Amino acid sequence: MVASPGTMKPNFSLRLRVFNLNSWDIPYLSKHRADRIKRLGDFLNMESFDLALLEEVWSEQDFQGLRQKLAVPYPAAHYFRSGIIGSGLCVFSKHPIQEISQHVYTLNGYPYMIHHSDWFCGKAVGLLVLHLSGLVLNVYVTHLHAEYSRQKDVYLTHRVAQAWELAQFIHHTSKKADVVLLCGDLNMHPKDLGCRLLKEYTGLLDAYLKAQDFQGPEDGYTMVKQNCYVRQQDLSPFPFGIRIDYVLYKAVPGLYISCKTLKTTTGHHPHHGTPLSDHEALMATLCVRHGPPQQSPSPPHGPVEKSLLTRVLREARMELGLGIARARWWTTFAGYATGLGLLALVLLCVLAVGEGPSEVAMLLWSPSVGLALGAGAVFLFHMHETKGLCSIQAELQHALEKAKETQDLGPEPQLAPLPGQQEGDRDEEQ
């Protein structure tokens, strides 16, 4: 049985060292893979974090290798399997894992965008429940859909939908958790819609913004130009770097959680020359303490219309609306194309029965079958996309109504419980 925070002694303190890395472990495709995984294992072995959370470990064999290598400092480990290729998520823990679960995102790109391949992975959020020093700790690890073009981001709606599902999953599964920790590659910049939605809905705090001592690249970038594996053209709109990997946390009222230090690698291996991945590793030291509540650090909320939560829920609902319109357009288009393919097949059958020009019929048979089947598959896919987006939009609409009701009843518009007082808050990013 886990003690509730109320029963713990006032001088209680829990220190938690967390490691997060998108490990860029893609068989046959990513450079120096075996060497990097070996060095990652050595580093994790040496540092002995409480938790090491990894994304993009696409090779289960590599996970099993790491598991063997890390068996002493991290006796508990889990690999989250999903989709066709996998979720790429795994975790190594110094402490026993009490419970495991996962949620695979409903929408994750398009199967015909083969060169982007996200659809073939089962992008997901993994959940581990740990019991530490009498506290229930819910640890989440995730990786959202990649952003291939900032100017024309065709996956924006799906990423916002994923951010909402992530927020919902955390909200519903962490109701009895004393401490919530989310690490991962969100593929979103700090001010992006999905990132704001996630933070406002769950009340999670950003370790980079809250760290008392931050050591790492300017603005906390987690993909930097100095990293030899980063393609410079991918960073072209942001020549110095981007911040898309996060450590986020919160604690129940009555517990204070603070980020003592956050270290981010700077394009090099922390101890050697070449980096561990094309992403930078995040290493956070969190401290959980117990004591009477202090003044809330949240800025005072303005009138109803200005509430951050209702605003971001409205924005997300609007983005979902645009996505639904696009999905419906594609469904209709693919429906007509399927009909055309079927019509062509019927005509070819009539021609064949009527002993018409058989060579023409044979030549057109394949394209007609291809059109009917291909467009049919696209039709079904976009039907599924529409249903998924409509479901999420309805949930957003409901959350918005409830948030408004809460605001009308009192001055506190946040759905999420207020996190404990944070120390050493850093300035908000621009």
Paired residues of 76 in beta bridges: 93
Closest distance to its own copies from the beta carbon of 25 (Å)? 17
3-state DSSP of 293-342 = CCCCCCCCCCCHHHCHHHHHHHHHHHHHHHHHHHHHHHHHHHHHHHHHHH
Between 127 and 259, whose beta carbon lies closer to its own copies?
127
Per-residue b or e along 302-341, where b marks 16 or more CB atoms closer than 10 Å to that residue's CB: eeeeebbbbbbbbbbbebbeebbebbbebbeebbebbeeb
CB 282 within 8 A of CB 247: yes
Long-range (24+ apart) CB contacts under 8 A made by 328-337 are 328/382, 328/386, 330/378, 330/382, 330/385, 331/379, 331/382, 331/383, 331/385, 331/386, 334/375, 334/376, 334/378, 334/379, 334/382, 335/375, 335/379, 337/371, 337/375, 337/378, 337/379
β-strand pairing of 282-290 with 223-224? unpaired
For 50, the token pair is 């409480």
Closest distance to its own copies from the beta carbon of 251 (Å)? 16
Between 167 and 193, whose beta carbon lies closer to its own copies?
167
Residue 291 amino acid letter: G
Between 36 and 143, whose beta carbon lies closer to its own copies?
143
Closest distance to its own copies from the beta carbon of 69 (Å)? 20
For residues 120 and 109, give the distance between their C-alpha atoms in angstroms, rounded to a whole number: 9
Paired residues of 143 in beta bridges: 185
Closest distance to its own copies from the beta carbon of 365 (Å)? 6
Query: What is the three-class DSSP state of 217?
Result: coil
Binding site for its own copies (CB under 8 A): 78-84, 86, 97-104, 106, 120, 122, 127, 168, 171-173, 175-176, 362-363, 365-366, 369-370, 373, 380, 383-384, 387-388, 390-391, 394-395, 398-399, 402
Between 71 and 373, whose beta carbon lies closer to its own copies?
373
Between 235 and 390, whose beta carbon lies closer to its own copies?
390
Closest distance to its own copies from the beta carbon of 173 (Å)? 4
Closest distance to its own copies from the beta carbon of 197 (Å)? 15
56 conformational bin, left if phi > 0, alpha if psi -120 to 50, beta if neither = left
Q: How many CA atoms lie within 13 A of 209 on its CB side?
A: 17
Token look-up 């700790």 returns 137
Strands (DSSP E) contained in 49-145 are 51-57, 76-80, 89-93, 99-104, 124-132, 135-143
For 199, the token pair is 């933070």
Q: Residue 183's CB: how many other CB atoms inside 10 A?
A: 27
Between 202 and 285, whose beta carbon lies closer to its own copies?
202
Closest distance to its own copies from the beta carbon of 126 (Å)? 10
CB 222 within 8 A of CB 282: yes
CB 228 within 8 A of CB 267: yes
Between 87 and 265, whose beta carbon lies closer to its own copies?
87
Closest distance to its own copies from the beta carbon of 13 (Å)? 25
Between 31 and 175, whose beta carbon lies closer to its own copies?
175
Closest distance to its own copies from the beta carbon of 43 (Å)? 26
Token look-up 């991962």 returns 184
Q: List, by residue number, the catalytic residues.
A: 279
The DSSP code sequence of 237-273 is TSTTEE--EEEEEEE-TTEEEEEEEEEE--SS-SSSS
Between 46 and 362, whose beta carbon lies closer to its own copies?
362
